[in-house]
Amino acid sequence: MTKWWRAVTAVVAVLVTWLAAGLVAAVPANAAAWSSSDKWATWSNGGYTIRNDVWGSGAGPQTIWANSYSNWGVWADHPNTGGVKAYPHSARNIGRRISALGSLTSYFDVSRPGSGSYSTTYDIWADNNAYEIMLWANKQGAVGPIGSKQTTATVGGHTWDVYRGSNGSNAVFSFVRTSNTNSGSVDIKAILNWIRGAGWMGDATVGEVQFGFEITSSSGGLNFASNSYSVSSS
């Protein structure tokens, strides 16, 4: 073997190593503690429940992976059509009235694609799902909240456009952040008290605090990830 050929062989070996490392990093589900392509897949960890939750009509394939309740994500390939296809999320049940909570806060940090149509959102349920409170941290593409805009409010550590409406089954209050963010802390109790102060809801019992990606389209396959997520209450 000539020196020239040995040099070429060494360069090829380095390139193959780099490419292999890149492929592993691009598909975290391969090395995750749990993963599933079942549309109703669930996994319990640390007092939280992670759900794939592919519920909308016309949905494509979606694979969820998780290392913990905090670090998880999905690869989703939903067609470029209207209507929410899935809401993969991590949830913690609270089970206490608003007035009985000393505090209810959350932290999130996500990585998300720059294409497709979706929102990164909290879905907070109260009074046995009579009320649905959505907190949109960011949005991409042709998506929008239910109902009509009521006001713009600064509450819970962020400034939101506030919408009120109904999906036919329950009241929906949507707080859409006026500018996109991929990370931050949210004072959820302050937002619930704001809703009470507006007269839209009483001293409701808080059920699940869910956080994830409400995906309408992700044609060709897109990756969404929660790098960190937690809910704290007292």
Among 177, 184, 219, 215, CA closest to 89:
215
Torsion of the alpha carbons at 133, 98, 198 and 148, rounded to the nearest 10: 0
Q: Are 30 and 22 in contact (CB under 8 A)?
A: no
Local confidence band at 17 (pLDDT 50, 70, 90 cut-offs):
very low
CB neighbour list of residue 112: distance below 8 Å, 6 or more residues apart: 118, 120, 138, 140, 182, 213, 224, 225
Q: Residues 37-92: pLDDT tens digits? A: 999 999 999 999 999 999 999 999 999 999 999 999 999 999 999 999 999 999 99
The tens digit of pLDDT for each residue in 108-145 reads 999 999 999 999 999 999 999 999 999 999 999 999 99
